Every structure is written in C-alpha cells, then in structure tokens.
Amino acid sequence: MTDRERVEAGETFLGIEFGSTRIKAVLSDEEGKVLSSGAYGWENRLKDGIWTYDMEDIVTGLQSTYADLSSDVKNRYGCVLKKTGAIGISAMMHGYMPFGHDGKLLVPFRTWRNTTTGEAADRLTDLFGFNIPERWSIAHLYQAILNGEAHVKDIAFLTTLAGFLHWKLTGRKVLGIGDASGMFPIDCSIGNYDTAMAETFNRLVADKNYPWKLQEILPQVLRAGEEAGSLTEEGAAFLDPSGNLMAGIPFCPPEGDAGTGMTATDSVRERTGNVSAGTSVFAMIVLEKPLSRLYREIDMVTTPDGHPCAMVHANNCTSDLNAWVGIFQEVCESMGTKTDTGKLYETLFRKALEGDADCGGLLSYGYLSGEFITGMTEGRPLFVRRPDDSFHLANFMRMHLYSAIGALKIGLDILMQKENVRVDRITGHGGFFKTMEVGQRIMAAAVKAPVTVMENAGEGGPWGMALLADYMIKKEKDETLDRFLERKIFKGQSGSTAEPDPEDAEGFARFIERYKCGLAVEQAAVRNLK
C-alpha cells in the first residue's frame, strides 16, 4: 500500500501526548514509520499559588492539535483523515483531577509541578513504608484532606490528565498501569493497586466519613496490549469538531509520559533505561530486582506492561536555559540581526563543548519551581560565581547544561553507587538532546555510561503512544511488548551513541560537588526573596 492508501484505509495508529509546553499528535504505520504530525503550544500558569492549566486550555489544545494533524494529512496525501487503526492518549504523569458525580472538575487541575503536598507525602511514606512523591495523586488527595478542603467529600472519580481525556473520548474510566503507578502504589504481582496500602489509607481517613473508598474513585488499571474502549460519537465530535472523524475506533490504555518515553526508546526490558529531558527531566531504569530499601529520591513505578521501574524525577530542567537563550536572541534582534531560533540553540549548545570540563567554577540553579530531590519548596533561578572564576560564554552555556540535570544526577548516583544497579544502555530523548552530540556527551559524563539517541527520538512520547496503540492491534498471541518493539519497530534502526569522556566525567563530578555545596545559597534565595 502507498502511504495515502494506508491513511484512507485506516491502517495507521494515532498517538496524542500532552507535554508541559507542547501537545503533539503523531500518525504512524504498523512498522512505526511516522506519516504525519501536528502540534500546539501551551504553558502552565501559576494561579493562587497552584501550577495549573485551565480546562479551556486542555480542550482547545486537544482540538487544535488534532486539527493541525488533519491539515498535515490533507497537505501530504490529499485526503481527509476519517479513521485510524487505534488511538492512544498520554500526558504528563501524576497531578490531581477530582471530578464530582456530575462529571465536572471540582478544583482546578493541580499539575505535577506543585510542591505543596510535603506534609501528606511524608506521612504516607511513613505509613506505607513506600516512597510517596509530592506530585503523586494520592499525596494531593491526602493533602486536600489535611487541609480540610470541602470538595473531597464530593469526589466521584480521581484521575490524571491522560485518564480524563481518555474518559471524555471513550466513556471509560481506565488508566494504563504506568500512569496508574503515579497515582497510587502498584503491586506488580497482580498488576493493580496495592490492596494492603489502599485499605491502610481507607482506615487512615475513616473518621472523615467520606461516602467513598479509595478503590471506588480510582480508575481501573490496564496493561499495555489490553483493550480500553472505543471512540464514542460524543468523543469523535469532541476530538474533531469538523465531523470528519468516525466513531468506533479502538483505544489502548492511556499512559503517562514516562511510559511513552520508555516505549519510544525501546527501554522496557530489564537493564535498559532512558532519560527524558525537557521542561522537567526524569530517568527510568527497568530493574532486575527490588531496591534494598526505601529512598525518598527514587520513585517506584512500572513500565507500560507492568514491570518494576526506578524513576528519578526532577521538576526543573531546560526552562531557565531556554530563558537565557531568549535573552541572547533579544540581544541579536536589538542589534538588528534576524536570528533563527534553532540555529541559535545549536550555536550556543556547541559553544558549551569548548568550555572547561568543570565549567570554570560557575554555578547555577534553574529552579522555576520547587525541587524535592534537593529539598527546595520553591524555585529561585540563580546564577552565582566567584570573582576569579573563568566567566565566558562557553563556560556559561556548559554550566547551564550541567545544571539542567544536576538534581537528576544526585538521584541517579543513589541507584548506581548505593544500589549497584546495572544498566546496559541509556537512551535519551527530548529537547536537551536535540543538538547532535552535545546533550548526549554531557549526559554520558553525568551517568558515566553510554547514551544513545535514536534517529526518531525527536518524535518522542506521542510516537511512543502510537506504538502502544499499534501493539494492542498488531501483537501476536503472547507477544510481549519488548519483543514487539524489538522485532517490528526498532529492528535495523540506527542511532548515535556517545561514550563517557573521562575528562568530562571528572569535570562533572567536580561541578556536582560544587552544586551540592551551593544549595545553601539557593535555599537562602528561597527564604529571603519572597
């Protein structure tokens, strides 16, 4: 079949992912070849001390992204997109979206970026003997209970952004196991929420006399490959107001961006890992065995097919770096020079490789929001240097690239040094790796392991979601997700690999020690700059 014939016949797979700054849709064929894409830019906002996206933004973003994809299909193939083999929805993990019995959101969406649930996270971690991060849905729920918020008694359904969108499109209140593992701890042996912990939580809040039990308000858990409903007539009109899209298209389980990142980088097998680096940054390492003890810096989640995975998540990565690039662009434009943004990024990123291995003593913290790993409840972007440090452009840019993954490095050192976790390969994706070689080389220095970027890494999470939709429809009997990806998607695919340079690794080690010492400066900024 030609690509046009595939599109017209519906022999395609659609993945849509809500990232923190961009919503993207990818249409691929059964071998993972990208046929079309669409995108829409958006930004979270700080309202009344809460990082959120308005419901209007969510709806507009979904419809605009799909419309952009449809337009791209029309331009490329001269036909109208009416059907596809399967659809999958993914989004930023965690957060808090409670709905009442009338289907309306009870409070504004509280995203993963919020660090207002520290008391709840600490109490639940002690109660369960299991790390509960601040951004997990159960931490948000319990913090709302501790705060005495009136809406809690009215909750009929609690879900993530991906779970909400899937519900709107299919009518099904379900969630992929990877995304569900960011709502409440998962028992991998049964592929469902941990029963003992759920009952412990119910006893904890029993005196509140809420009309619900925890298991009654959480979405049903599904593994990759299981069917998760189909596009309803209302859902089709919601996604495509033009009326061209047909109802009845099957959906795979909605997933979080961590799960789609693992899928898009072929990192769902034991001893594989991936790093997704953009507005936030997280590393996923699929484990051979459980960790020896609880670490507050390490989240225990799962792959889309339910295998245990250690996650190191940092709220901040490239946002402050992007802001500095914006300053440089403003300087160029003020001088009358028209600058291509992509070219500017590439130039500045490559300049970083000319810097000293330890950044010449320079130090920064790109914290726009709080950072749990380093104990920051709020963010204060900060650049500091001593008078005799080597202050020039190359070191300045290298410092920002190092700093973007500084908190991640602290978490990964726990896995590699304290738990002796073995990783055969790490695959990188996201904006941090967009300039060839630069992000890879710096990440390799940080993790002291080879870092690979696949040739299709730029498609990222939405492509990974399309692959999960593909897997649901095209998998053979008893074919595992890792085998499907290896045999049908990544076979023969090439990528570039950066080995850790010893000088870079030593320089990064010196930088990270300075980074740890300087946390007192960042803490003082949080305390004194209100």
Looking at residue 359, its pLDDT comes to: 98
HEC readout, 465-516: HHHHHHHHHHCCCCCCHHHHHHHHHCCCCCEEEECCCHHHHHHHHHHHHHHH
Separation between Cα atoms, residue 329 and residue 351, nearest integer Å:
15
Which has the closest alpha carbon to 141: 119, 161, 166?
119
How many helices (DSSP H) and strands (DSSP E) are in the chain?
19, 22
- Considering only CA atoms, give the Rg of the chain: 23
Average pLDDT over residues 327-340: 95
* 63 pLDDT more than 80: yes
The answer to whether the CB of 394 falls within 8 A of the CB of 355 is yes
Q: What is the dihedral of CA 324, 328, 330, 334, to 10 degrees?
A: 150
Average confidence score pLDDT of the chain: 95
| Residue pLDDT, tens place only, 235-267 | 999 999 999 999 999 999 999 998 998 999 899
Tell me the C-alpha distance between 439 and 453, whole Å.
10
- Read off the pLDDT of each residue in 487-509 and give the average, rounded to a whole number: 91
In this predicted structure, the answer to whether residue 457 has a pLDDT above a threshold of 60 is no
The CA distances from residue 167 to 138, 222, 223, in Å, are 20, 14, 17
High-pLDDT (> 70) share of the chain, %? 99
Q: How confident is residue 148, by pLDDT bands cut at 50, 70 and 90? A: very high
Contact 86, 127 (CB under 8 A): no
5, 9, 10, 36, 86 from 78: Cα distances, Å: 11, 14, 15, 12, 21
pLDDT tens across 278-331, in order? 888 989 999 998 899 999 999 999 999 999 999 998 999 999 999 999 999 999
- 387: pLDDT strictly greater than 90: yes
> What is the pLDDT, as a whole number, of residue 77?
97
Q: What is the average pLDDT across 177-182? A: 96
pLDDT at 458: 59
Query: What pLDDT score does 499 carry?
Result: 93
- Over residues 467-492, mean pLDDT: 94
Confidence of residue 114 (pLDDT cuts 50, 70, 90): confident
The yes-or-no verdict on residue 392 having pLDDT over 60 is yes
- β partners of residue 158: 98
Predicted TM-score (pTM) of this structure: 0.85
Supply the DSSP symbol for 229.
-
271: which residues sit within 8 A by CB, 6+ positions away? 286, 288, 422, 423, 424
25: closest CA among 63, 75, 57?
Answer: 63
Do residues 471 and 510 make contact, with C-beta atoms less than 8 angstroms apart?
no
- pLDDT tens digits, residue range 19-51? 988 999 999 999 999 999 999 999 999 898 898
Question: Is it the case that residue 56 has pLDDT exceeding 80?
Answer: yes
pLDDT confidence of residue 104: 97
CB–CB of 33/470 below 8 Å?
no
Local structure of 428: helix, strand or coil: strand
Domains of the chain: 256-455+494-530 (3.30.420.40)
Q: What's the pLDDT score for residue 456?
A: 63
